Amino acid sequence: MIKLKKLALLLLIFSLFFLSLTPLTAWAEPDTDATEEELEDELPFDVDAKSALLMEATTGEILYEKDADAKYPPASITKIMTLLIALEAIEEGKTDWNDTVEVSENAWRMKGSEMFLEIGQEVTVDQLLQGISVVSANDACVALAEHLYGSEEMFVQIMNQKAQQLGMKNSHFENTTGLPHENHYMSARDIAILSAYTINNYPKILELESQREFTFNDIVQYNRNPLLGRFPGADGLKTGWTTEAGYCLAGTAKQNNFRLISVILNSPNLSSRLSSTEAVLNYGFRNYIFKVMVDKGEVVGEAPVPDGKDKEVAASTQNSLGAVITLPDEDRLETQVIYDKLSAPIEKGDRVGEMHILLENEILSRVTLVAEQDIEKTNFAVIALRQVGGFFKNMTTGLVDMIKGIFE
């Protein structure tokens, strides 16, 4: 009997011991300190549109998306591509801002948004680009297309070629205006890709698109972009509407050296298009920052050139290097330089490697490193001596390490 009592007491002691190790979660207070991952899972939200996307303009990082690869009628958002082709033509010398264009009957007959061109009227390329940008003028699109490539059809071929070059996999154009056609479509992702490329390479588009009004033939018209003058830092980009497309808006804004591009497609009305655009832009600006780690042209190291007269070449960044991050990650970023296997001769500006921004060994962004000076090829004898010297250096280092290992 005494043994049974001792056994029962022993079991009770062990039970109390194990209970002390088990957390009493049934009575614990709720955990108010949610992890960063849990909070971020709650942040993405739905918008009142069939398709939407938020992109950082420099890196192309996607911060929010909804059905972003689906094909939708883009309406006048099409005109971002029209403007890009025109800006490229100016850069290439095919035309000039001050060149005059004679308005054809074909352009004059265009319906929808217009700048009210007259048949036979002479208008400058600059005026046409302002008309397309500010009042979404369909007549100006056709006049410009005919001026640059002889016909709208030829101009559209260039638009589709450019879309392929930019990797716009879910876009096809049938006209320069965005007027409805069953084979004319774009995706939200493609629109963001196009917008980022145009802004980064032809920032003049923002000057055009941020104009609040446009006067032509004594007719004053106003920019339909609801972000201008309302959303902090907004300076573009393009609105659109047709019955088929619904209400669309490709918007962009810059705050604290951080540019975002938003795309809203097929929203049911004007107010929801605006509120959805503001929602995604606010989400981006409130939850992310753009951290610049290295400025453009900064020398970050010396790349080895085994057969060069100089054994190394200074390596600098081709562009600035930055990454989109949440604020808690700012102090956890690291950089990494990786040099290419180089051989002389090397000319100034040649690629010599890459520099990466890392967060927990994940590459967030990268930039090309280029040579800061020319490097000529040295003769065979010098290369041979360097190789022999390198061999003995490696052998000596290995021997020293081995001796250290013996005595440690």
The answer to the question of residue 45 being in a domain is no
- Quote the CA–CA distance of 168 and 158 in Å, as a whole number: 14
Reference 74, options 172, 193, 158, 152; nearest CA is 172
Q: Is the pLDDT of residue 395 over 70?
A: no
pTM: 0.80
In angstroms, rounded to a whole number, what is the distance separating the alpha carbons of residues 265 and 246?
7
* Residue 356 resides in a domain: yes
Query: Minimal CA–CA distance to 105: which of 91, 93, 117?
Result: 117
Sheet strands (E) in 165-298: 213-216, 219-222, 234-242, 246-255, 258-267, 289-294
* Rounded Cα distance, 80 and 171, in Å: 13
What tokens appear for 379 in the block? Answer: 């003769």
CATH number, domain of 147, equals 3.40.710.10
- Examine the domain organization and report whether 197 and 340 are in the same domain: no
* Average pLDDT over the chain, rounded to an integer: 86
Q: From CA 280, how far away is CA 180, in angstroms rounded?
A: 27
Q: Does residue 204 share a domain with residue 170?
A: yes
Per-residue pLDDT tens digits for 152-203: 999 999 999 999 999 999 999 999 999 999 999 999 999 999 999 999 999 9
Residues 137 and 180 in one domain: yes
Asked whether residue 268 falls in the same domain as residue 298, the answer is no
Q: Are residues 229 and 330 in the same domain?
A: no
Within 40-160, strands assigned E span 51-56, 62-66, 100-102, 122-124
What total of structural domains would you count in the chain? Answer: 2
Nearest to 248 by CA among 218, 269, 279: 269
What b/e readout covers 20-47, taking b as 16+ CB neighbours within 10 angstroms? eeeeeeeeeeeeeeeeeeeeeeeeeeeb
Q: Is residue 21, in this structure, part of any structural domain at all?
A: no
The tens digit of pLDDT for each residue in 97-127 reads 999 999 999 999 999 999 999 999 999 999 9
User: In this structure, is residue 41 part of a structural domain?
Assistant: no
Closest CA to 95 of 138, 145, 53: 145
Tokens of 29: 């207070």
**Same domain flag for 231 and 179:** yes
Task: Say whether both 212 and 250 belong to one domain.
Answer: yes
| Rounded CA separation 189/169 (Å) | 9
The answer as to whether 181 is a domain residue is yes
Q: Is the Cα torsion angle 277, 281, 286, 287 positive or negative in sign?
A: positive
Same structural domain for residues 111 and 244? yes
C-alpha span between 183 and 73 (Å, rounded): 9
Show which residues are catalytic. Answer: 76, 79, 136
236 and 105 in a common domain: yes
Tell me, yes or no, whether 180 lies in a domain: yes
Strand-strand pairing, 234-242 and 246-255:
antiparallel
Domain that holds residue 72: 51-287
Among candidate residues 93, 54, 77, 96, the one with its CA nearest the CA of residue 209: 77
Tell me, yes or no, whether 222 and 336 share the same domain: no
Q: Which two tokens stand for residue 270?
A: 């004007």
Summarize pLDDT for 236-274 with one digit per residue, the tens.
999 999 999 999 999 999 998 899 999 999 999 999 999
How much is the pLDDT for 307? 87
